[in-house]
Structure 1
Amino acid sequence: MLSLFLSLPLSILLQRLRHILPLPSLLKTLFLSVAPALLLWYLDDNNCRYFITTALILRIAKRPIGVTSNISCGKSTFVSPFKSSPTDSSLTGSTKVIDLDAIAHKILLPPSLHAWKFPYNFINSYGPILSTFGKNGDTNILNNDGTINRTKLGGIIFSDPEKRRKLNKLTHPKIRTIMILEILLSTFLGSVLIIDIPLLFESHLQFMFSSIYVISLEPEEQLKRLKNRNKELKEKECKERIESQMKLTKKISLADHVIDNNGSESDLLNVALKTKKYIIDVERFGMEWVWGFLGLLKSFGYV
């Protein structure tokens, strides 16, 4: 039991090393796989073997894969193939997507629309947002049906960093709570879990993921696509939304994998399908499982 508790911080350290080591992604994976394996093989103390083996297993066992980017960079398009069952017979596993944008939209809905829909009937930001940002006169952020007008709310918070921080305090803890509930529920499905999470790095949640994919896009193309997608927004408003986020170059520097989306939508979907196959074939059954299993066998004297 002590070995298990000691292994938790080591498993987090192993994950953080993926983002600290100045090595290409593949070399980092090999290093973090082989180095603990050598320790497992040569250590004489069984407790140490249990300690390292448990840390290796905790590092990737049911750890989701994160997909992130900035606004209008194609993140949702990239994860769309992960939401469907594989049609290719070579894909022998399945994937499940948790979309944090969708969760953020749901917690803005009136509680009456969430009757008997756990957990949204208990975890909701509708009331606190109305109390904070107003529902009367010039500050009215409601549609005629009583739902929050996200365009009006965006106009308020993207032009004012302080109001944006207030909104984040009202929504982010609840979004994370629902995300954790979804992860716990998904552990019983045996699927590879993909989390579509816009503010992954801003929320300092890197330690939660076995690997992180960032969708890259040139700034000019990003602005163009945002203007085409949200025609109700002026160019100034589009730029405010882009500038409110962490620089994409910074996210790329922190990523394990970078997906180029400067081509067509079909190009991105093709890359997504290939990535899905790679994730199912490699990420789910990585080298750490092999080394951890061999180390455990050696601990019991079988090898």
Structure 2
Amino acid sequence: MKIIGLTGGIASGKSTVSSVLKELGALIIDADKVAREIVLPGSPAWNEIVQEFGQAILQPDQNINRKELAGIIFRDQAARNKLNRITHPRIMDEIRKRINAGKRGNNYLMIVVDAPLLIELGMTAMVDEVWLTALPKDIQIMRLMEREGLPEWEAEKRIGAQMPLEEKKKFAHRIIDTSGLVQDTINQVYDIWNQITRHEKEQNT
């Protein structure tokens, strides 16, 4: 059973790749979902975040307003560092638990850790291969503007706050080009899946 780390910049098509892998039968561990779960109202991480950033980041139901918080941390590196110190260790611990549970279950051909910060957090040691979704920056900016309704300057700033694509490529075992049509991305995922599963079956026979 291979453990795959799937990563890529914001608006780089990572969710499409993850969805296809799930349909093919992989166990998907979504780091963004884990991140949301560990900050549910009343949790230790929630308490620390509210103490650090104040009640203004809360919605009426006491859930954290993610857009409000994102606006703060993308403008302020120190604020981003504070949030990361609160959330990242908890996210990594939970992902490890889910990987181990998936291995014990042994019901999957592949476990995929879908994590935007896989490389930045040193999570590459937790996986067998790193897959990177990649596309030219101008297309990435356009897609982010359309998806989030952002002005160009803010889209550029959010992308600029992440590790540069060329740096990420140094860690990648496989690069999936997501610059074209969605079907082109899907076809690449099918090809990689078939290569890996065929190899796994040959090793087990």
Task: Compute the TM-score of the two structures, normalised by the length of structure 2.
Answer: 0.91
Q: Going by fraction, where is strand more abundant, 1 or 2?
A: 2
Matched, 1:74 2:10: no
Letter in 2 for 1:218: P
RMSD between aligned residues: 1.9
Q: Which has the larger radius of gyration?
A: 1
Q: 1:142-161 alignment to 2 at 5 Å?
A: 142-161=58-77
Letter in 2 for 1:133: F
Deviation track 1:26-70 (CA, whole Å, cap 9, x = no partner) reads: xxxxxxxxxxxxxxxxxxxxxxxxxxxxxxxxxxxx551111111
Give 1:271 deviation, angstroms: 1.8
Deviation track 1:153-193 (CA, whole Å, cap 9, x = no partner) reads: 01100111111010000100010011011011101222111
Give 1:286 deviation, angstroms: 7.8
Q: Contact (CA 8 Å) 1:155, 1:237: kept in 2 or not?
A: no
Q: What is the aligned partner in structure 2 of residue 132 from structure 1?
A: 52
Task: Compute the TM-score of the two structures, normalised by the length of structure 1.
Answer: 0.63
Question: Structure 2: where are the runs of 5+ without partners?
Answer: none
Q: What is the aligned partner in structure 1 of residue 125 from structure 2?
A: 207
Higher relative contact order structure (alpha carbons within 8 Å, sequence separation ≥ 6): 2
Letter in 1 for 2:182: E
Q: 1:33-72 alignment to 2 at 5 Å?
A: 62=1, 64-72=3-11
Q: What is the aligned partner in structure 2 of residue 179 from structure 1?
A: 95
Give the stretch that moved more between structures: 258-267 or 269-278.
269-278
Matched, 1:189 2:105: yes
Give 1:124 deviation, angstroms: 4.8
Q: Contact (CA 8 Å) 1:79, 1:272: kept in 2 or not?
A: no
Give 1:263 deviation, angstroms: 0.3
Q: 1:1-303 alignment to 2 at 5 Å?
A: 62=1, 64-84=3-23, 86=24, 94-111=25-42, 124-135=44-55, 140-190=56-106, 191=108, 192-231=110-149, 233-282=150-199, 284=200
Alpha-carbon distance in 2 for matches of 1:95, 1:105: 22
Taking a change above 3 Å as real, the CA distance of residues 262 and 173 of structure 1, as seen in their structure-2 partners, is: same
Alpha-carbon distance in 1 for matches of 2:54, 2:191: 46
Give 1:285 deviation, angstroms: 5.4
> Percent of counterpart pairs with the same letter?
33
Give 1:275 deviation, angstroms: 2.1
